[in-house]
Amino acid sequence: MIMHEDMKKIKATTILAVRKDGKTVMAGDGQVSVGNTIMKHKAKKVRFMHKDKVMVGFAGAAADAFNLFERLETKLEKFNGKLTRAAVELAKDWRTDKILRRLEALLIAMDEEHTLIISGTGDVIEPDEDVAAIGSGGPYALAAAQALLCHSDLDAASIAREAMLITASICIYTNDQIELHELT
């Protein structure tokens, strides 16, 4: 979990990644907020990339995230779907490019092997745990998912859904319109 200045700016959503029993799941809520106003309830914040072998979710400014999605897709193509290499190259560009540096977003990217959190400060972090979360509701989703992972028999998709519903009941920037995706 990234807890620095970039994280304080991002109050837009919750994205949660869960791995369990060989299943790889990512969930995002649908709320789009501008200040104290809810502008949209069913936004799509998780995307499949590179022949549907990579899932990516964003927290932060939507236009910035779409720019980063395109750049990550280009990097994945360039590096034959190698997520770690593509993420590191994206983070280097993001940190060093004067225009990209101004983008306010965080990404979670997952493939069958890796879960990565990518930030504009050049961070590419692969958490030790089987869960990762970003966005304003990220700490709540992370805690709920870790508890469910350790203390329930739920599968990965059910853990993600329940953790997101718990988060929606706590975080004002997260709603219960959960979008859930699984790598197959």
Active site residues: 13
How many CA within 13 A on the CB side of residue 8?
Answer: 2
Q: For residue 10, give every residue at least 6 positions away whose Cβ sits within 8 Å of its Cβ, in sequence order, or none.
A: 59, 60, 104, 105, 106, 134, 135, 136
For the chain, what is the largest distance between any 2 Cα atoms, rounded to a whole number of angstroms?
47
124 phi/psi in degrees, rounded to 5: -130, 105
Are the C-beta atoms of residues 59 and 106 closer than 8 Å to each other? yes
Phi, psi torsion values for 151, nearest 5 degrees: -125, 25
CB 174 within 8 A of CB 143: no
Copy the structure tokens of residue 48.
């499949």
